[in-house]
Amino acid sequence: MSVPLTLLGLLEREASHGYDLKRDYDTYFGRGKPLPFGQVYSTLSRLTRDGKVVISEVGPGDGPDRKRYLITELGATELDQWLTQPVEPEPHLQTVLFAKVVLALMLDRPAAEYLDTQRSAHLQRMRELTEVKRAGGLVDALLADHGLYHLEADLRWIDMTGARLDALRSTVRP
């Protein structure tokens, strides 16, 4: 997740204070990992420094003055470029799952047990995401579906790898 570009997108929608940006970010993008206030303000400072946002007004607040941020043409151009470029297709060819299985085989450790443990962890996470999908709104359901589809693909890989452990062992342990 690109925090600076996401904040630019929220600012293109409407000029906002840092507090409002954090709230909106957490509502739509921060599921399980809210954005720290410090990161919001340090990101806004960098975006201001780089000419991608400007402070449109400053007003008194309960603490420091409240600054309202506005996206600039440069920021809007960068946001547009980011939105129209495809995301790097996943997955990458080197994953932690793969590395653990290969190392377990190289070190003559129980790779099949590791795969069983990983399968159990994936199934538990799938149950959690299914509950999020059932209990939440549309945004939660779409995010949960994304996670579920990735976990399903991992489970297929785990099963396929488990079936090929002997062949992989002979490849990595000559």
| Token reading at 14 | 């409407």
Preceding omega of 91 cis (within 30 degrees of 0): yes
Give DSSP secondary structure letters for 97-113: HHHHHHHHHHTT--HHH
pLDDT in tens, 98-152: 888 999 999 999 999 999 999 999 999 999 999 999 998 999 999 999 999 999 9
The residue count of the chain comes to 174
Q: CA 113 to CA 151: how far, in whole Å? A: 19
Task: Report the predicted TM-score, pTM, of the whole model to 2 decimal places.
Answer: 0.70
Which two structure tokens, joined as six digits, stand for 37? 């206030």
Two structure tokens written together for 60: 């008194």
Can you tell me the distance from the alpha carbon of 163 to that of 111, in angstroms, rounded to the nearest whole number? Answer: 11
- How does pLDDT run across 45-85, given as a tens digit for each residue? 999 999 999 998 776 666 566 889 999 999 999 999 999 88
